[in-house]
A and B are shown apart, each in its own frame.
Chain A
Amino acid sequence: MSRTVRRQRVPIALLVPAGLGLTFLVLPLAGLLLRAPWTTLPRRLTEPGVLTALRLSLETATVATLLCVVLGVPLAWLLARVEFPGRRLVRALVTVPLVLPPVVGGVALLLVFGRRGLIGSWLDETFGVTLPFTTAGVVLAEAFVAMPFLVIAVEGALRGADPRYEEAAATLGAGRFTTFTRVTLPLVAPGVAAGAVLCWARALGEFGATITFAGNYPGRTQTMPLAVYLALETDLQAAIVLSLILLTVSVVILAALRDRWVGST
């Protein structure tokens, strides 16, 4: 490619805000890197509190993602493939957690799954199961806010997949469930994977619903974002280190998804 395309003039009225916008997005991350205590980093990373919070975060985000996949993929299938009255309403309801402030989500979860909540009291009396302020509660809070990402991604993939493959499967003797597992799911596997990664990233960063519903107990419900918030009040350096870890994880995810979501020029 020796010939370069004729340079197109970019209006200054667009260039300036665009540049400012980019700076605004990148500068805080640069600040994080500049202020990082690089010399003491290895020691700080191995502090027990940090590792505990990191492990809890990774575990709860993973379990929450699994929960979202198990419940969200069938939900996405229902929205994409079955016509039923009120489908638009259901689709709108699914996306509510996307726009709902997470703290409100946490309060709502407390009202339902809290010890005196609608389902919580029944769970407590019948099974002796308490969800709020437990690790399971963290998973529940994360799944609540992250599930829409998975459902939307998978529904999009399902709508993009040619439904005639499913008809072909039917003519070969496959019932609807077999068709789903043998044909539909393999066809939309990349979409499910992308949705699961987005979902996992959202769960990993979840703060508001978690602190409201599950509290902030180190080793039990204190995930990385909560640890960052707590550290910020006492030890700025520790907050920076924890933030760096979360930043690294985010960048790795972005790189993994590059081909699918970002690099589509």
Chain B
Amino acid sequence: MTALLDAHLVAERDGFTLDVRLRIAAGEVVALLGPNGAGKTTALRVLAGLHPLAAGHLTLDGADLDRPDRRVWTPPERRPVGVVFQDYLLFPHLSALDNVAFGPRRRGADKRAARARAKEWLDRVGLGDQARRRPRQLSGGQAQRVALARALAVDPALLLLDEPLAALDARTRLDTRAELQRHLGAHPGATLLVTHDPLDALVLADRLVIVEHGRVVQEGDAATVTARPRTDYVARLVGLNLHRGRADGHAVTVGELTLTTADTVHGEAFVAYPPAAVALHPSRPEGSPRNVWAATVTGVQRHGDNLRVQLTGPVEVAADVTPAAAAHLGLIPGRPVWAAVKAAETRAYPA
């Protein structure tokens, strides 16, 4: 597959350097996932032309839009890029229809054609009957859909979405996410979704690109990223314990602890296992589990129906236990316990 978007984004912003390579094929949805301050929004602004590249290049549909070393720069209004902003930024003085017609009108359509096109898009997002409303008369979910229609109405080669669901309440978010998935699936151009919500990324994107401190730390489809996290941030996102160590066959040495795994790896390796795989015992357990170590409770939080226990010791680990087990163990911070993980529930892979 040839990439519609081929970019190496290097930008400075607020004393922070972004250095990210991105390739997105036509019809592909890529999620740029990362913690706050990782540079996601800067990447989006650079792609939209709202912030210049310091180095690198930005090529969209075969055309260089930003290439500092060749002094090429296309201003935002001449880029085939559509943006859905986090708080939508619908023009408050224009109706929903005129908001959507704004793009086609600026790109040369006459007033009637632009409005016809806008009406078509509003129909497509299910808001044909709200065309005359002003943005402040729309609900959050409706405003989000108008913003999407407005960005798509100019047929962008690249569609950018900045935390498109962050401003919505939980119930609306569920419906809007499903709806958004449908529209992103129908978009023939490249789509980049910027988010810090792993669920949005997993549901909406074909591929995840994870950035931390302005760099790509991991990249891949949802299955790979969730099964094989490569940083603590990604591990937390997907809810896994993650350690880095040296592997020699089935044994991975993490600090002073040696964990036995079912997988065979050699050299630098990661070990990952879910918190539910960690069993806690008041005294050293006898019998089957081979990965056993002494730990100290540092915190306990509710997690669904269970409790999530934070442990310190040779490794920092989270363990999920039932409320009954927690009561039995008397889990309070400072309490010494024994942690055990079965080799069959761990996964090891090269670092």
Q: Give me the interface of A with B, judged by CB distance under 8 Å.
A: 162, 164-165, 167-175, 178, 182-183, 186-187, 189
Contacts and interface: CB of A to CB of B under 8 A. Distances in A.
A187 B94 CA distance: 10
B93 A172 contact: no
B164 interface: no
B50 interface: yes
Contacts of B97: none
Given A167-B48, A186-B91, 17 more contacts: A164-B85, A165-B91, A169-B91, A170-B49, A171-B48, A171-B76, A171-B81, A171-B151, A172-B77, A172-B150, A173-B77, A174-B77, A174-B102, A174-B106, A175-B77, A183-B91, A187-B92
Interface in B90-105: 91-93, 102-103
A189 B49 CA distance: 28
B75 interface: yes
Nearest to A179: B77
Contacts of A167: 48, 50, 76, 89
Contacts of B85: 164, 168
B192 interface: no
B107 interface: yes
Nearest to A176: B77
Given A164-B85, A175-B77, A169 B102 contact: yes
B83 interface: yes
Contact of A164 (B75, B89, B103): B89
A157 to B, nearest CB: 14
B154 interface: yes
B71 to A, nearest CB: 21
A170 B89 CA distance: 12
B82 interface: yes
Interface in B137-162: 150-151, 154
B82 A171 contact: yes
Nearest to B156: A171
Most B CB within 10 A of own CB, among A164, A165, A170, A174: A170
B91 A171 contact: no
A172 to B, nearest CB: 4
A162 B86 CA distance: 14
Contacts of B49: 170-171
B106 A172 contact: yes
A165 B89 CA distance: 6
A183 to B, nearest CB: 6
A162 B75 CA distance: 20
Nearest to A189: B93
A197 B171 CA distance: 47
A58 B158 CA distance: 55
A171 to B, nearest CB: 4
6 contacts: A165-B89, A168-B83, A168-B91, A171-B49, A172-B77, A172-B106
B50 A170 contact: yes
A170 B150 contact: no
Contacts of B154: 172-173
Contacts of B106: 169, 172-174, 178
Interface in B65-92: 75-79, 81-83, 85, 89, 91-92
A186 B77 contact: no
Contacts of A187: 91-93
A189 B77 CA distance: 24
- Give the top 8 A-B pairs by smallest Cβ distance, nearest first: A173-B106, A172-B103, A170-B76, A168-B89, A186-B93, A171-B83, A173-B107, A174-B106
A167 B162 CA distance: 14
Contacts of B92: 187
Interface string B14-50: 0000000000000000000000000000000000111
Nearest to A173: B106
A175 B75 CA distance: 9
A173 B91 CA distance: 14
